[in-house]
Amino acid sequence: MEDGDQGWVPYGFQLANWTMERPAVWAHGFPVEYVSTELSSASSCLQTPVVVPRSSTGEKQLVECTPTTTRSDDPMIKESAKEFEVDFHSMETKKIPADRIHVNPIDVFEERASEFKVDISMTTRKMHRYPPGIFLASNVYYTAPTMVSIGPYHHGRDDLTAAEKVKHVAAYQCIVESGGHSVQEMYDAVVAVAGDARRLYDQDAVAGLADDDFLPMMFYDACFLVQFMLSYAGRDVMDASLCSFFDANDKDITHDVLLLENQLPWSVVQAVMRFRPVPLENFIDSLKDCLQLQDRVRVTTGDEEEEGNTTTVLDDAYEPPHLLGLFRYYLVGASSTEPRSLPPTKSISFSVSAMELAEMGITLTANKKATELIQMGLKKEGTLFPELSLPPLSLNRSRASWLINMAALELCTTADFYTAEDEDSAVCSYLLLLAMLVDREEDVHELRTKHVLQGGGGLTNKEALDFFTSLQDLRVGSRYLRSMQEIENYRVTRRVQTRLHAFVYKNMKTIVAVFSAVGALVGIFGTLKGLKDKTP
């Protein structure tokens, strides 16, 4: 480190010329700023009087634009004057900028439409807010951090201030471990991408956040995430006090950094990782083990990188929007086979109960080899009856939160679940398949006996039931829909087999009783016959 950097606090560095347009004031659907319009001819500017307040008392004042050709006797102009007259009583006086008086209102709409298109084009990269009205949205545990804020949405909350000091320690460690790079060099790298990062947040949330607050927040939050990822990767030796903090608060921090509204643009994190690299394969492996598709924890060692024991293979073509998006991408995985084409059906049920599956002979099984959520669906090969195979899940509050936030991310970034790739809605499909199977606590217990839900800890049967039943209004993902199509296709093409199996399933007790009675009668007759044969 350079001597001049030791007492550095990055509040004096700002990106220049960041301005926000103030919202238009509307009169009958048009902004007051844009009061002059071409009503009938492109070559003439029609005089359009607008009434604006002279003072806070509500006194009115007529403002006119000066046209190139004045036609004040035109009845159309008189009608337009009436149309634009507005009673601004009790409204605050607003001065109309002189350079904007002669702007055509249609330009306003074109500008807004253009902004909207740009906003939509950034959907997959944006830092989304939690979708309104979504399942469990009222449960603050699934939506708000408990220990550390990342990004501006929860920045400055009084109950999260303790972690701000830790962010400074994390920044110091990133600088020390950067291999001789200066504070200024690292901070400038963050500033270089901060302009684009700011546009990715909800503009109402960052409108009042000045540059000298926003830029340091980006820097400190990125350093915190980098050090946290290093602690998870299990390879590097880090500062003992920082390591102790991460270990003591591991569950809370992991919960917080995987919330939809607690994210940092990945480009900002990458700016710091250029100076302090993170073995992302190890980090993702460890994080996936914590979800877990199976109730086990992989023990990491310092020699893992050299031994090549990581299971995650990074996709160089994938650019994550943030940490939650990175985790979701590698947890979901990619489908290894092309979807099978299914014959058309007249109708399809979007829900099938566990009892209906059992009646048809479809067995619910846990795919114990699954390491990714995409590995779910109807399995027919190698079995007499098909199996609905799902990756197993050990469910507790933290894992429930991660799944919900990943599902919320899919809802925010995927416009059409039906035409999108299976991977784009896989979490929603997985949760819907589980929700489809439970109506009672006994159904949850059945999932446990089938080892689809694993472990004795975590959510109780009642809590798990409440969790799953709250998810039944999720949008239907393509993998879920395909599973329903496969089930319906099996029901139609194997009608005789499914009906026979249903009869046996429904009358199993009676059938067993009959066979037991027949067996008993056979035994009695056999005994009698034996006694008769022995009689002289």
Alpha-carbon distance 175 to 289, whole Å?
30
What pLDDT sits at residue 449?
87
Q: Is the pLDDT confidence value at 495 over 70? A: no
Which single residue is written with the structure tokens 């995650």? 312
Main-chain phi, psi angles of 102, to 5 degrees: -95, 20
Alpha-carbon distance 85 to 83, whole Å?
6
Q: Highest mean pLDDT range out of 52-56, 119-123, 235-239, 406-410?
A: 406-410
Mean pLDDT calculated for residue range 204-232: 94
Alpha-carbon distance 514 to 519, whole Å?
8
Q: Is the pLDDT confidence value at 525 over 50? A: yes
Run of H or E including 29: none
What pLDDT sits at residue 75?
53
How is residue 220 written in tokens? 């400190």
Looking at per-residue pLDDT, the higher value among 210 and 69 belongs to 210
Q: Is 377 left (phi over 0), alpha (psi -120 to 50) or beta?
A: left
Give Cβ neighbours of residue 432 (< 8 Å, ≥ 6 apart). Answer: 471, 472, 474, 476, 477, 480
Alpha-carbon distance 246 to 346, whole Å?
56
Q: Is the pLDDT confidence value at 394 over 90? A: no
Which single residue is written with the structure tokens 């924890």? 297
Which among 38, 40, 35, 14 has a CA at the least distance from the CA of 24? Answer: 35
Q: Is the pLDDT confidence value at 1 over 50? A: no
Which among 270, 126, 259, 112 has a CA at the least distance from the CA of 199? Answer: 126
Full-model pTM: 0.72
Mean pLDDT of the chain: 75
Alpha-carbon distance 126 to 138, whole Å?
23
Alpha-carbon distance 467 to 141, whole Å?
13
Alpha-carbon distance 474 to 431, whole Å?
9
What pLDDT sits at residue 10?
55
| pLDDT interval class at 297 (50, 70, 90) | very low
How is residue 479 written in tokens? 């993998």
What pLDDT sits at residue 409?
95
Write the pLDDT tens digit of every residue in 136-194.
655 889 999 999 999 999 999 999 999 999 999 999 999 999 999 999 999 999 999 99
Give Cβ neighbours of residue 295 (< 8 Å, ≥ 6 apart). Answer: 392, 394, 454, 455
Q: Is the pLDDT confidence value at 118 over 80? A: no
Which among 52, 79, 49, 82 has a CA at the least distance from the CA of 67? Answer: 49
Per the CB < 8 A criterion, the answer to whether 104 and 36 are in contact is yes
Alpha-carbon distance 428 to 472, whole Å?
10
Write the pLDDT tens digit of every residue in 58-70.
444 444 444 444 4
What pLDDT sits at residue 121?
77
In single-letter form, the type of residue at position 254 comes to: T
Rounded to 10 degrees, the C-alpha dihedral 445/449/455/458 comes to -10
Region of poorest pLDDT, from 4-18, 96-110, 289-303: 4-18
SS3 157: coil
What pLDDT sits at residue 56?
42
List the chain domain ranges: 26-121, 140-289, 354-493, 504-536
What pLDDT sits at residue 200?
95
In single-letter form, the type of residue at position 44 comes to: S
Mean pLDDT calculated for residue range 208-215: 93
Scanning 39-122, the segments in alpha helix (DSSP H) are 75-84, 105-121
Most distant CA atoms of the chain, gap in Å:
137
What pLDDT sits at residue 83?
45
8-state DSSP, 125: T
What pLDDT sits at residue 323?
97
Neighbouring-strand partners of residue 53: 60
SS3 30: strand
CA atoms within 13 A of residue 100's CA, in its CB half-sphere = 13
Per the CB < 8 A criterion, the answer to whether 319 and 285 are in contact is no
How is residue 504 written in tokens? 């046996």
Region of poorest pLDDT, from 27-41, 60-74, 198-212: 27-41
Alpha-carbon distance 409 to 398, whole Å?
17
Neighbouring-strand partners of residue 107: none
| pLDDT interval class at 271 (50, 70, 90) | very high
With vertex at residue 325, the alpha carbon angle to CA 146 and CA 141, rounded to the nearest 5 degrees, is 20
